[in-house]
């Protein structure tokens, strides 16, 4: 049952480029239209949150605010307007919009004043979530370890391979970056039986790639190849430039990682973009894989259930909410695949 003025812990971004603060935040007096109250069971740290903390898009006008956009939890209560879930339902929390009401943004109270939150935040013990940012999932507790990845990492990776491109087993694929999303892309491509997949990272990520039986290549090896699909996950401009050069005549360069605000991208021979049929290449900025939670979450559920032993290797670190800054530092150092936050 929803308890007004309930106090619970949250990791809050108070100032850009600073560590998150663990604060006690207080829920509003009542739930508004389209809102559900969720007890978090697990969440995970996405590269997008690292970007928010580092301020890659510039000044953050919403500070201080809660963070996190992928999680797994249980419905504790809901506004009477919400019809898609019931109390005690297990749900995936995601940033992609699904059916249901789009509630007003949420605000919490704390000893430092008002704390902003959007329609979904997950770095907290409890959260008020908009109805259109949840998807019911039955009997999934035993997959709790990987469940939060179904809120962002897995949908984005699956959508890139199956909606934003036309994936074929014979495609030559190059992934720039062996971080959380890069490894997830590699793992799903492996499950889909790709025959030619290379991963490049500026840091030595051999321990991480070996866990998933993926091929980490040196730069001297990849620059000799031409690829059908190049996916850049880090936002590094040099990777984007090289990725463009490495495309074959019908290749696609998909940008997942976001460059810093006001950075300058230089492409060698951009005329290739205007030279069909000799060149028919495309540059695409990924839109979350164009994933539709209402129609496609069932696909991911089956993939996870059938490949759980393999996919759980994506989770390299499990932490408590109180250790959130340690988890973020591990990601920044390039030592992690996906970092999961477990709640009691």
Q: What angle do CA 151, 153, 155 make, to 5 degrees?
A: 65
pLDDT at position 280: 86
Low-confidence ranges of the chain (pLDDT < 50): none
Contact of 134 with 85, CB cutoff 8 Å: yes
pLDDT for 167? 82
Token couple for 265: 């991208």
- Quickly name the fold that domain 165-286 has: Rossmann fold (3.40.50)
Does residue 147 contact residue 153 with C-beta atoms inside 8 Å? no
pLDDT of residue 122: 98
Q: Residue 3 has what pLDDT? A: 66
**Which pLDDT score is estimated for 2?**
60
Cα separation of 316 and 238, whole Å? 28
Other C-beta atoms within 10 Å of 208: how many? 26
Percent over 70 (pLDDT), the chain = 99
Instruction: Give the pLDDT confidence score for residue 6 in this predicted structure.
Output: 86
Contacting residues for 119 by C-beta, under 8 A, at least 6 apart: 102, 103, 105, 106, 129, 130, 132, 133
* Residue 344 confidence (pLDDT): 74
Tokens representing residue 131 in the block: 């109805």
Q: Is it true that domain 7-152+313-342 has CATH number 3.90.180.10?
A: yes
What is the Cα 171 distance to its own chain's centre?
A: 24
Strand-pairing partners, residue 128, are 37
- Pseudo-torsion of CA 53, 232, 183, 151, nearest 10°? 60
The domain segmentation of the chain, as residue ranges, is 7-152+313-342, 165-286
């Amino acid at each position: 049952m929803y308890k007004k003025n309930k106090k619970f812990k949250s990791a809050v971004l108070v100032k850009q480029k600073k560590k998150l603060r663990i604060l006690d935040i207080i829920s509003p007096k009542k739930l508004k239209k389209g809102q559900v109250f969720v007890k978090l069971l697990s969440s995970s740290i996405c590269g997008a949150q690292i970007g928010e903390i580092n301020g890659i898009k510039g000044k953050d006008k919403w500070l201080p605010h809660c963070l996190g956009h992928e999680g797994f939890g249980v419905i504790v209560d809901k506004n009477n307007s919400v019809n898609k879930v019931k109390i005690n339902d297990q749900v995936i929390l995601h940033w992609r919009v699904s059916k249901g009401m789009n509630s007003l943004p949420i605000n919490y109270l704390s000893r430092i004043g008002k704390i902003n939150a959007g329609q979904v935040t997950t770095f907290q013990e409890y959260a008020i979530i908009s109805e259109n940012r949840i998807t019911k999932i039955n009997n999934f507790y035993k997959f709790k370890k990987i469940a939060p990845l179904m809120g962002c990492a897995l949908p984005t990776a699956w959508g890139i391979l199956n909606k934003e491109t036309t994936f074929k087993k014979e495609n030559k694929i190059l992934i720039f970056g062996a971080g959380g999303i890069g490894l997830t892309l590699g793992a799903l491509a492996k499950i889909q039986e790709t025959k030619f997949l290379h991963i490049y990272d500026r840091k030595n990520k051999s321990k991480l790639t070996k866990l998933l039986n993926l091929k980490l290549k040196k730069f001297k090896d990849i620059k000799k190849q031409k690829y059908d699909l190049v996916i850049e996950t880090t936002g590094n401009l040099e990777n984007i430039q090289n990725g463009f050069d490495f495309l074959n005549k019908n290749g696609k360069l998909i940008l997942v990682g976001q460059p810093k605000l006001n950075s300058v991208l230089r492409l060698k021979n951009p005329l290739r973009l205007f030279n069909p049929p000799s060149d028919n290449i495309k540059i695409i900025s990924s839109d979350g894989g164009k994933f539709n939670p209402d129609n496609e979450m069932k696909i991911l559920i089956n993939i996870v259930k059938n490949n759980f032993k393999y996919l759980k290797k994506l989770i390299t670190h499990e932490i408590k909410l109180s250790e959130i800054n340690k988890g973020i530092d591990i990601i920044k150092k390039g030592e992690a695949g996906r970092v999961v936050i477990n709640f009691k």
